[in-house]
Chains A and B, each alone.
Chain A
Amino acid sequence: MFWHNFKYTLKTLARDRMLIFWTFAFPLILGTLFQMAFANIESSEEFSPITIAIVENDAWKQRTVWNEAFTKLSEEGSDEQLFHTRYTSEEEAKELLETDEISGYLMMKDTPQVVVDASGINETIFKHVCEELIQSETLTDMIVEKQTAKWMANPDQMINDPAWQTRLYEEVNEILQAETTMVQDASPTKMSYTMIEFYTLIAMTCLYGGVLAMVAMNRNLADMSDSGKRVAVSPASKGSLVLSSISAAYVVQLLGLTLLFSFTCFVLHVDYGENFIGLLGLAVVGSLAGLALGICVAALCKRNEATKTGILISITMLGSFLSGMMGITMKYIVDTNFSWLNRLNPAAMIIVRLTRYWIRKRNRKKLCFIVRFTIS
């Protein structure tokens, strides 16, 4: 019975034009549009280093941390280059700023002083980097002071341990590591807007599996279709019918995902990074969440199939929109103000997890959420 129903459900789903459009064609069309739209945006937004000046006075020479930081961030040709730095006198720096040859300059006195005469993106980045350095420096000073006081409180220990300075250094370093948030781009290539869009596309396709599941379920419900009435009066076990129908829907869904991945990889040349297998695995699990959504709507909503399809497509599109499908800003707004929404939105869960795969972090929390969503 299982295979009989599975085979024919597969046939009916695969021949349903409306389903084929939403599951197979629509994601491909959307993917192509994303590629066309965002490829141009990204090329026009390519980042070029900000030209700044640093007043090279005695105070500057004493600030080793600042010296090292700006040398690193100004390394020509490096991936991490943020600034194109010129070392000047104070007068020269003022002159360069007036003639708009630099975005701003840094001058060390008792405290670091950042001078800019506009409020653009370059100036903001420059000020932000300096503020970060001031904070790091303050934090380091506080930790050193605290740890030194600790050693000083126990002079016998200092006398007995000749390497106490090395130990103090190690302790400070350890605390710093724990206290500081390290931002590191661990992806093989730079992550772009387009990638986020493609992740939302994968999440959307996963959730469209809900329409397949709903249609497959309706085939067995006497109050939903005439054929369902015929199935309902048959001696076939309902459990077997539902399970085989959902399995068939899942197979069609996986075919849709395979097509999407093949198309985006080989035709649109989307780079999904090194952990592609993990990403595929997540799409497979995410599709189960989509199926669960479809089963839920099929079972709870006593409307006709067109209405149910409308509800599922609306949920999917809204979820994808809130996850950043139509612009990453929306995801930022939701993350900042309504983070609880992300715990209800399966599209957001899938996207977050996909992003994690991109940067190769082994955080299983979101995956658990997806599985929990599927089961509940």
Chain B
Amino acid sequence: MTSLSAQWLDRDRRRLILEQSAIPDTIYGILTAACALFIPALVIAIAVAIFAAAWPAFAKLGLSIVTSSDWDVAAGHFGAAPAVFGTLVSSAIALVIATPLAIGVAIFLSEFSPAWLRQPVGFLVDLLAAIPSVVYGLWGIFVLIPLLREHVMPFFRDTLHLGSTPFFSGAAYGPSMLAAGVILAIMALPYISAVSREVLMAVPRSQREAALALGATRWEMIRDAVVPYARSGIIGGIMLGLGRALGETMAVTMVIGNRPEISASLLAPGYTMASLIANEFSEATNDLHLSALMAVGAALFVITLIVNGIARWLVWSVSRARAK
């Protein structure tokens, strides 16, 4: 009997010792540190591998890979400037369309929506992110492109008389920079809206109540108290959407027309860096061709880094401006 109680006592003491000791913390610390270091190590490993594979092309062709517009595999010319241009322009179109829409959705859901509508609408918007990109591409070919060709493009060109401006000139065949931008906008939208919605909902009640107490209307409250508070988070969401747009491959390849030419017209076909790699990699046998495709990949990597850097800087400067 005494031995049993002693045992109990012993067990309690042991548990106490374990709970007070630093061992679980240490193990946990090591595990999380391993996770945290693994990801940067992976990024660095990928970057090293890409740049190593791209090196022969950079050594031979230099920066002309991203500055020249002549991509002619048979002749051994590798100038991917049209693809760089296409990547940047299609992503820019996507953000111009997606940002106001996504923020509108987010503001409605966090500020105006009745509770019963909030869940289903939010769910459906989030669902856009779960659709595979090849499905977007198919939808683009069979629904979006005919719609653009028969209604939207003639509207811009003829009804609004924008056909004389360089941005809407030329024949409208359907597959175009505009089609790519619209597809990318739909794909980027759920990312921007989901992040913005969460950030807006996290704005403290007191912030809203203070604005209302000062006599602000609902609109003024949102404009002056809620959105500025959430601004850096919203920018983060936009950058996440931009990252999605820059790297998207399949859907864009299916609707952009894959034409390596720089054209100011949104109705003209274009090309993106990711599409170029996806299109040509599997059949590339020539060493320089392979290396040039890797170089395009490396350039895309750098562009993504720069864009992320700009995003960081924006978030930082916005939060600093608010702190002042």
A binds B: no
Residues in A lying within 8 Å of B, measured CB to CB: none
